[in-house]
Structure 1
Amino acid sequence: MNVLLRLLKYLRPSWKWVVFSGLLLVLGTVVDLVAPWLLKEVFDKGIGDRNTKMIIVFTLALAGIQVAKSIAMFFQGRSQELVGQNVVFKLREEMYAHLQRLSFSYYDKAQTGQLMSRMTGDIESVKNFIGFGAMAMFTGVLTFAGTIAFMLFMQWQVTLLSMATVPLLMYALYRFNKKVGPAWGQVREQMGKLTTTLQENISGIRVVKAFAREKVEQRKFEDRNADNFTTNMERAKLEAKAFPLMNFYGGIVFVTMAWFGALYVANDQMSFGTFMAFQWYTFGIIWPLNMLGWQINILQQAMKAAPRVFEVLDTPVDIAQEEAKSVDVKRIEGNVRFNDVAFHFADQDPENEEGVLEGITLDVKQGEVIAVLGATGSGKSSLIALMSRFYDVSRGTLTIDGVDVKDYELEGLRRKIGIVPQETFLFSATIRENIAYGVPEATQEQIEWAAGKAQIHSFIEGMPFGYDTIIGERGVGLSGGQRQRVALARAILMDPPILVLDEATASVDTATESAIHEELLEIMKGRTTFIIAQRLSSVKRADRIIVLDRGRIVQQGTHRDLFAQEGFFRNLFQMQEAAASR
């Protein structure tokens, strides 16, 4: 019930259309109720009294109200669809906006396929109920109640006798409703899993083919598809059992009415016109009850789909901006200080588990270039992620220019930190749009300047459409090194006071890397720069090198200082020197 009430709140912006649609629906129902009565009058006062004028009058009245009903139903259908589409529009808009606000910790666990399924199929199920099912239910109830009222008024004995099997039909509906709800819940869940499998396979198709795992992935998809098929067949089995039974009970209502109605006509206890009207009215009893089974299907789909949508909408935003504390980011110069910082992921116990980062104390002055080294999993990327508030520190404080990062306006803070991530992502758009993603108002001259600094301008100029060349999804069509350089140009164009290079040149050759670093020397002047790298050639110009091990700073100093010490830095230097000399 809570889910239903919450869904109905989305009707508020369209309440005028809901009222308009409801009034037209009532008009259509009234026409359906009056039509059999007019038919009765045709037989009783027209044919029975051999009154041609009455036959013409009532026949024209029947035709007239049917025309009026058709016009009303046209506008009612349009307004009803408008209501449903408004609900879908609002739900999708809210869900997408909330997904944009959710922090990295949510996406660390969320499955893209499940989110896509909720954004599309689940919301569509909600629309089917709000935009059609709910009104159809209302129509059915109104028609059922109105039909019984008219029949009781015209001949109450036959009406009561005819409805003897209606309780059985309603009991069958009750049993169907109890069983079909969980069945639709399983269908929605299996559809989400199937979408996830499909999304992962398409996104990772190059890996699949590289390892010749097509048949394995095909079997995985077939298993998911089979599970989806099985759950749908279980749901279909319920419908196959319930619908024929409901149709049977409905048929009994019709047969009973015909039997008793004929007897009452034969005994002059009921007019022939009333008997003919009852033939029509019977469908006003059978149709709503039989259709209710289908409408219950729509309702249960929505009731199982809506919680999946609301689950996303109700997910708390871990990294939220407190407007009262928002500090203007224009003052950011680039002085960064970590003071006894610790960081735990959401599923870690801060009391009993060691964090990804522990006891980090680091003071970085404006314009300083800091290199961060360490083995895989040592916490390098997590250290950088804290500055942009992709995650919040679990303990300690992180300040920029003496202000806690939590007190800065969030969007502005992130615009002041230009990041070239380890995993380069490019959109399916032109190269110009990808480079200017963070600064969409940038001029062509500025874009070319940034591309030149990233050593990618000459390559772009040589492409068939230059900067207007559209690259494929995730940057397909460019090599790994080219994608990295486009991402680097994107960060340079933002002109941020803090620049983060997370393995930014890992995919380029050493000659290109050297050229990029030469260009970056000018870019890094006066700019606080963090360089995460495994190649020592990437960090040789750093003012200071930080070595992380298991989330702690174990070495800190200049290139010369660390080479003089035993530890990770010297071992890495010796390994790379040995590899280069082979």
Structure 2
Amino acid sequence: MAERKGHLVRLFRYLVPYWRYILGALLLAFLGALLNLALPWLVEKTIDRALLEKNLRLLVFIALGIVGIFFVKGVASYVQSFWVSLAGFRVITRLRSELYQHLHHLSVAFFQENPPGEIISRMTSDIAVLQNFFSSALVTMLMDLLLFLGSVMFLFFIHWKLALLSVVVFPLVGLCVDILGKRIRGFSHLLQSRVAALTSLVERTVTGIKVIQSYVSGHYEVEKFERENEMNFYLAMKQAKARALFNPLVELVASCGVTAVIWYGGREV
């Protein structure tokens, strides 16, 4: 756990030179969260005042306000995604360059102990995973976190008792996320290792194709590739099952909080 946190700290240090873009993206994400929270309020005003009181002028004003909110949200989302992607791709470019430079300072023993295909896989597929994290996953994570915090604050502002009842299930949700997250990460690490082995197998086949053909051992290499490929499929499906279970399980636990709020709110009416 401590080692993983250390790796994350090292990765986020690469973002320091681009802190202005990250700070700007955070502010825009906060703005987007506020606008998302403003939409239910506008809908409430539409129903309670504009429709029930048949106030056409207010209805037009609210309708224009909703369109304006979506327009501002769209612009903010575009700029936010662009800034985070810019910072993320810069980090990936720097990481890739440093990794390539590091290869030139490694001992000959390292290259003898590690197949070339595995090294190439680390340079490509592992970097691609980080690229996805910095360019898209980071944006989603920041947006969801700010929206969550804003929603909780808004709930406590409206009715603190109901809000307190709804957050009781948070530890259970966190437990589900932790358990399934560990399974997904475990399968992801295994899958990356198998992809590296598959890449290494292809690399050995390409570089030694003359020897393989001269000894007519192609069928043996194909069988090895098929076994490795099937193992990749098996691990990928294990990971897919864990991912598919993630949202339904979290939503099921969260629904307990919604049920508790409805039950308590009904008694208070």
Q: Same fold (TM over 0.5)?
A: yes
**Structure 1: gaps spanning 5 or more residues:** 268-582
Does structure 2 conserve the Cα–Cα contact (< 8 Å) formed by 1:180 and 1:238? Answer: yes
> Matched residues in 2 for 1:170 and 1:260: separation?
23
2:55 pairs with 1:51:
yes
- Opposite residue 6 of structure 2, the aligned amino acid is N
**For the pair shown, which has the larger CA radius of gyration, 1 or 2?**
1
Identify the structure with bigger relative contact order (alpha carbons < 8 Å, sequence gap 6+): 2
Would you say how many aligned residue pairs link Structure 1 and Structure 2? 265
- Paired residue secondary structure (1:218): helix
Equivalent residue number for residue 229 of structure 1: 233
- Aligned equivalent of 1:36, options 17, 40, 61: 40
- Opposite residue 143 of structure 1, the aligned amino acid is L
> Matched residues in 1 for 2:51 and 2:243: separation?
44
Question: Deviations for 1:222-268, whole angstroms, at most 9, x for unmatched residues?
Answer: 1111222222222223223333211323444555556666x379x4x
> Matched residues in 1 for 2:114 and 2:175: separation?
41
- Opposite residue 47 of structure 2, the aligned amino acid is F
2:31 pairs with 1:27:
yes
Which structure: greater helix fraction? 2
Question: Deviations for 1:414-454, whole angstroms, at most 9, x for unmatched residues?
Answer: xxxxxxxxxxxxxxxxxxxxxxxxxxxxxxxxxxxxxxxxx
Equivalent residue number for residue 218 of structure 1: 222
Equivalent residue number for residue 208 of structure 2: 204
Question: Deviations for 1:538-578, whole angstroms, at most 9, x for unmatched residues?
Answer: xxxxxxxxxxxxxxxxxxxxxxxxxxxxxxxxxxxxxxxxx
Equivalent residue number for residue 75 of structure 1: 79
Question: Deviations for 1:78-106, whole angstroms, at most 9, x for unmatched residues?
Answer: 22211221111111111111212334333
> Matched residues in 2 for 1:140 and 1:17: separation?
19
> Matched residues in 1 for 2:129 and 2:112: separation?
28
> Matched residues in 2 for 1:161 and 1:105: separation?
60
> Matched residues in 2 for 1:52 and 1:108: separation?
78
- Aligned equivalent of 2:148, options 133, 144, 155: 144
Identical pairs, percent: 29
2:176 pairs with 1:168:
no
Question: Deviations for 1:381-428, whole angstroms, at most 9, x for unmatched residues?
Answer: xxxxxxxxxxxxxxxxxxxxxxxxxxxxxxxxxxxxxxxxxxxxxxxx
> Matched residues in 1 for 2:224 and 2:135: separation?
36
- Opposite residue 153 of structure 1, the aligned amino acid is F
Equivalent residue number for residue 244 of structure 2: 240
- Aligned equivalent of 1:249, options 247, 250, 253: 253
Question: Deviations for 1:96-150, whole angstroms, at most 9, x for unmatched residues?
Answer: 1121233433322231111111111101111222222233222222111110111
- Paired residue secondary structure (1:108): helix
Cα separation, partners in 2 of 1:101 and 1:220, compared to 1, 3 Å: same
Does structure 2 conserve the Cα–Cα contact (< 8 Å) formed by 1:161 and 1:257? Answer: yes
Shift of 1:192: 0.8
2:65 pairs with 1:61:
yes
Equivalent residue number for residue 435 of structure 1: none
Does structure 2 conserve the Cα–Cα contact (< 8 Å) formed by 1:18 and 1:79? Answer: yes
> Matched residues in 2 for 1:207 and 1:121: separation?
28
> Matched residues in 1 for 2:131 and 2:28: separation?
20
> Matched residues in 2 for 1:264 and 1:59: separation?
35
2:135 pairs with 1:131:
yes
Does structure 2 conserve the Cα–Cα contact (< 8 Å) formed by 1:111 and 1:196? Answer: yes
- Opposite residue 108 of structure 1, the aligned amino acid is Q
> Matched residues in 2 for 1:126 and 1:89: separation?
11
- Opposite residue 62 of structure 2, the aligned amino acid is F
Does structure 2 conserve the Cα–Cα contact (< 8 Å) formed by 1:28 and 1:69? Answer: yes
Cα separation, partners in 2 of 1:154 and 1:11, compared to 1, 3 Å: same
- Opposite residue 197 of structure 2, the aligned amino acid is K
> Matched residues in 2 for 1:39 and 1:61: separation?
11
Equivalent residue number for residue 189 of structure 2: 185
> Matched residues in 2 for 1:43 and 1:197: separation?
65
> Matched residues in 1 for 2:194 and 2:246: separation?
23
Cα separation, partners in 2 of 1:65 and 1:241, compared to 1, 3 Å: closer
- Opposite residue 175 of structure 2, the aligned amino acid is Y
Equivalent residue number for residue 115 of structure 2: 111
Does structure 1 conserve the Cα–Cα contact (< 8 Å) formed by 2:46 and 2:62? Answer: yes
> Matched residues in 1 for 2:171 and 2:101: separation?
47
Equivalent residue number for residue 155 of structure 1: 159
Does structure 2 conserve the Cα–Cα contact (< 8 Å) formed by 1:162 and 1:260? Answer: no
TM score, norm. by length of structure 2 = 0.89
Question: Deviations for 1:265-314, whole angstroms, at most 9, x for unmatched residues?
Answer: 9x4xxxxxxxxxxxxxxxxxxxxxxxxxxxxxxxxxxxxxxxxxxxxxxx
- Paired residue secondary structure (1:101): coil
Equivalent residue number for residue 97 of structure 2: 93
- Opposite residue 220 of structure 1, the aligned amino acid is K
Equivalent residue number for residue 18 of structure 1: 22
- Opposite residue 33 of structure 1, the aligned amino acid is L
Equivalent positions of 1:209-358 (< 5 A) are 209-254=213-258, 263=266, 267=269
Does structure 1 conserve the Cα–Cα contact (< 8 Å) formed by 2:29 and 2:146? Answer: no
